[in-house]
Amino acid sequence: MRLLLGTLFGLAVAAVVGLGLTYLSLTRNTAFGGLSIESWTAWPKSGTTDADPYARASIARSGRLPTAMGDGVSFTLRSDDEGKHLDGRCEVVISGITPVARFWTLTLYNPDGALVANSTNRYGFTSQEIVRRSDGSFDIVVAPRATAGNWLPTGGVDRYELILRLYDTAVGVATKAGREVPMPEVTTRACP
Amino acid sequence: MIRWLLLILGGALLGGIVHLATVILLPRTATQDAYARLTPVAPVNTVVALPAPTPEKAIMPFMDPAFASAICRYDLSQGPLKLSVPVSPAYTSVSFYTRNDVAYYAINDHAAGRRVIELDLMTTAQHDQLPEDEEITAADRLIVESPTTTGLIAIRALAPEPGLMRAAQAAINGSRCGTAQPEPAPTPQPPPRPRR
């Protein structure tokens, strides 16, 4: 009886630990080989056949198609430069320049990967649409209410993520964080 | 007391094995991966334009709304596939995914260097069966080897401004994929496999 009870207990621990770890690792995006520049993170290897088992599992689970190497690189942003998670009720400013690419797009998603509804039907910007300063740098204001300049509406959701996709770029598996890959700064300005 | 500690330790070790096994097996058992989501809307070996993602409805998560996109869900068991994609004014890319949604190849309009991206997709076995002289005459055609017999080709054209979405969609709609037709002047050679 004690043996049976002990075995069942051990198996229960195994199930909780095993499935719990799997769930955590797949929902928190813990693929290896992430390229983190400031607050932005990309997994260039996830777009190749070298994708590790965690990346493969997380891609299969989410149902997305990863950005293939040779097409471009996707950088995900979940928090600002101070580590505070992106809040759709605040005003977040993305400012600076991006690494060299033929085109880029910046898109706002909810954590499940769906676009966020808003009154202007604007879900993101492309590199051709934004207003820049004379030196090529730009400010994008991600906020619930309309602002002058490049305004990306949040729809007032409490959590969202931004994906910056660089298309036809040299940034890839071999890239290291540094001066060649300047990513825009992210600051939370006004929070209610 | 020690007995329970040992049980917890053993359970945790076994849990590690469970974790690794589930992570490795998950892609093969996922029922909501991109391939499964696209199967109902995409007939085999045909280009199907995908509706633009909206907040209410998107066929896949994390689609880029600035792109017009189409999918060719391929099956190479009947023979190699021919793909042609006219290039849009801004940026066009073609990405190849295996049955388990792993990207194994991608090409964009600049890399292709012409007005139409044209290539042949085949399995490694089919590539090996290609007679060598044919490979030479077809040297200007790009040959891509697929690691799996089935998979997905994502064809995407960028609309840098919303007004250019029409042009991007038009380029996508002109793309074709299908099993290779028999050559007009067949070279004498033992037929490796029946073609449709």
**Taking CA atoms, what residue in A is nearest to B98?**
A49
Give the span between the Cα atoms of A29 and A27, in whole angstroms: 6
Residue A115 reports pLDDT greater than 90:
yes
The torsion angle over the Cα atoms of residues A85, A171, A67 and B65, rounded to 10 degrees, is: 70
* Chain B residue numbers touching A165 (CB-CB < 8 A): 64
Q: How many CB atoms lie within 10 A of CB B8?
A: 14
Give how far B83 is from chain A: nearest CA, Å.
Answer: 17
E strand or H helix that includes residue B118 = strand B116-123
| Per-residue model confidence as pLDDT tens for chain B (196 residues) | 788 888 889 888 998 888 899 888 888 888 889 999 999 999 999 999 999 999 999 999 999 999 999 999 999 998 899 999 999 888 999 999 999 999 999 998 888 777 888 889 999 888 888 776 665 555 567 889 999 999 999 999 999 998 999 989 998 999 999 886 654 444 445 555 555 4
Instruction: Return the pLDDT at B183.
Output: 47
pLDDT of residue B184: 47
Mean pLDDT of A96-109: 93
Chain A residues whose CB is inside 8 A of the B93 CB are 68, 70-72, 167
The whole-number pLDDT of residue B139 equals 54
pLDDT in tens, A59-100: 888 899 999 988 999 999 999 999 889 999 999 999 999 998
pLDDT of res. A74? 93
Q: Cα distance from B25 to chain A (closest Cα, Å)?
A: 8
DSSP annotation string for A57-94: HHHHHHT--PPPTTTEEEEEE-B-TTSPBP-TTS-EEE
Q: Which residue of A has its CA nearest to B13?
A: A14
Q: Which pLDDT score is estimated for B129?
A: 84
What is the C-alpha to C-alpha distance for residues B98 and A101, in angstroms, rounded to an integer?
A: 27
Kind of pairing between the strands at B142-146 and B116-123: parallel
CB distance A114–B104 less than 8 Å? Answer: no
Residue A161 confidence (pLDDT) above 90: yes
Does the beta-carbon distance from A61 to B30 stay under 8 Å?
A: yes
Average pLDDT score over residue span A43-53: 86
**A11 and B11 in contact by Cβ < 8 A?**
yes
Average pLDDT over residues A103-124: 92
Q: What pLDDT sits at residue A170?
A: 86
Q: Spell out which residues of chain A touch residue B85, defining contact as CB-CB under 8 Å.
A: none
Asked whether this complex has an ipTM greater than 0.90, the answer is no
8 Å CB contact between B156 and B69: yes
pLDDT for B188 equals 47
Q: Are A163 and A109 in contact (CB under 8 A)?
A: yes
Are the Cβ atoms of A60 and B24 closer than 8 angstroms?
no
Give the per-residue pLDDT at A48.
86
Residues of chain A contacting B33 with CB distance shorter than 8 Å: 59-61, 63
pLDDT of residue A179: 67
- The answer to whether the Cβ–Cβ distance between A112 and B24 falls below 8 Å is no
Distance from CA of B180 to the nearest CA of A (A): 25
Q: How far is A114 from chain B (nearest CA, A)?
A: 6
